Amino acid sequence: MYIVKRLDEFDKWLGSLKDRPTRIRLIRRLDKARQGLLGDVKYVGEGVFEMREFFGSGWRIIIFTEVVVLF
């Protein structure tokens, strides 16, 4: 399981999408990522990943990873 933190800027952008089915698919993709089902992800470098969605014009969600280990 992962913790997904959505930035305010992302939520504003997502809310501004006029195509409701696209918005729903992207939200569902983030929900799956939260459950550990990352799907098609490409490593870009330095802790940055790109979640790729192959519908419409091809959507990309950029992910920044932060790892904290407590002992």
Q: What is the pLDDT of residues 29-70, one digit of tens each?
A: 999 988 989 899 999 998 889 999 888 888 998 888 776 667
Residue 71 has pLDDT above 80, yes or no: no
Residue 70 lies in a domain: no
Residue 25 lies in a domain: yes
Residue 50 lies in a domain: yes
Residue 2 lies in a domain: no
Q: Nearest-CA neighbor of 26 among 57, 51, 1, 63? A: 51
Residue 3 has pLDDT above 90, yes or no: no
DSSP state letter for 36: T
Residue 31 lies in a domain: yes
Range of the domain at 58: 8-64
Per 3-state DSSP, what percentage of the chain is helix, strand, and coil (rounded to 5)?
35, 25, 40
Residue 20 has pLDDT above 70, yes or no: yes
Give the chain's domain count: 1
Find residue 43's DSSP bridge partners. 49
Residue 43 lies in a domain: yes
